[in-house]
Amino acid sequence: MMRFPAPAKLNLFLYITGQRADGYHTLQTLFQFLDYGDTLTIEPRTDGALRLLTPVKGVPDEENLIVRAARLLMQYADQQGRLPAGSGADISIDKRLPMGGGLGGGSSNAATVLVALNHLWGCGLSVEELAGLGLRLGADVPVFIRGHAAFAEGVGEMLTPVDPPEKWYLVAHPGVSIPTPEIFRDPDLPRNTPVRPLETLLNCEFSNDCEVIARKRFRKVDEALTWLLEYAPSRLTGTGACVFAEFDTEPAARQVLEQAPAWLNAFVAKGVNLSPLHAALAGQAEFR
């Protein structure tokens, strides 16, 4: 039985640059991991069975990204003749990341399953193969599989590794869940932010084009950001609902956390450019 991190991510900036004919939006965004997230416990089986021991209420197992990722890997590796006979697993999750929070919890869970089971089963699939499988499950899954902070373009699948400063963050969940389609369907969402070179973007003040819509539609998001902005540069991550403020030191972030209103569910974490999952596999993890 082994434990594997499924870390959160932040979108340090997010710009919507257009919309394709198929309805998908093109974007430019900067992903960085946090040393905080869910934890998956996996025990390999030798009878080919696959069991999720901690089902999510209201989500059938076959729709759960954890199960979908495991079955996808099993099918692909078997087709390639690289799945050892009897490969299976019992999987459980210690869930800390909120659903609909913009922290990438579901995508991170899927990526951790793909990376961990490839390792435990000894399939020997490359990172490229795993990232290709991950993209079938969601646009954010490949960045978690590759395991390094990245600048993403296209619909999120074109990744360039980067090393932004590893700051401390106070991350707050305002108690609402935001379905991503609700933000992207809004007619007022900015869809024409100019495409800019990465070097230019890194030297501009960071922002998130989805923030104006999230604040308009969800009063609690607006209230959370209004409070955080009194203390530090703050913005939405992804399509929300989580918001975050950045600090240079952990004590500064914790000082503000102590003053958080009771209705905010918040935590402090460090931004890291190497995913805690990959650090764990390399034997150098520090994960809270």
Looking at residue 151, its pLDDT comes to: 98
Q: Check pLDDT > 70 for residue 267.
A: yes
Residue 102 assigned ligand-binding role: yes
Q: What is the 3-state secondary structure (H, E, C) of 249-276?
A: CHHHHHHHHCCCCCCCEEEEEEEECECH
Please compute the mean of the pLDDT values over residues 66-84 and round it to a whole number. 98
Looking at residue 56, its pLDDT comes to: 85
Prediction pTM value? 0.95
% of the chain exceeding 70 in pLDDT:
98
What's the fold here for domain 168-272? Alpha-Beta Plaits (3.30.70)
Q: Check pLDDT > 50 for residue 212.
A: yes
Tell me the per-residue pLDDT of 113-135, one tens digit each, with 9 for 90 and over. Answer: 999 999 999 999 999 999 999 99
% of the chain exceeding 90 in pLDDT:
92
Q: Which residues are catalytic?
A: 9, 140
Q: Check pLDDT > 50 for residue 83.
A: yes
Looking at residue 284, its pLDDT comes to: 53
DSSP track, 29-83? EEEEEEEEEEEEEEEEESSS-EEESSPPTTS-GGGSHHHHHHHHHHHHHHHTT-S
Residue 107 assigned ligand-binding role: yes
Please compute the mean of the pLDDT values over residues 66-86 and round it to a whole number. 98
Residue 99 assigned ligand-binding role: yes
CA atoms of 175 and 152, how far apart (whole Å): 28
Tell me the per-residue pLDDT of 157-193, one tens digit each, with 9 for 90 and over. Answer: 899 999 999 999 999 999 999 999 999 999 999 999 9
Domain boundaries, the chain: 2-162, 168-272
Instruction: Taking each helix axis as running N to C, give the angle between helix 65-79 and helix 105-121, from 0 to 180 degrees, rounded to the nearest 10.
Output: 40
CATH class (in words) of the domain with range 2-162: alpha beta
Looking at residue 286, its pLDDT comes to: 45
Residue 106 assigned ligand-binding role: yes
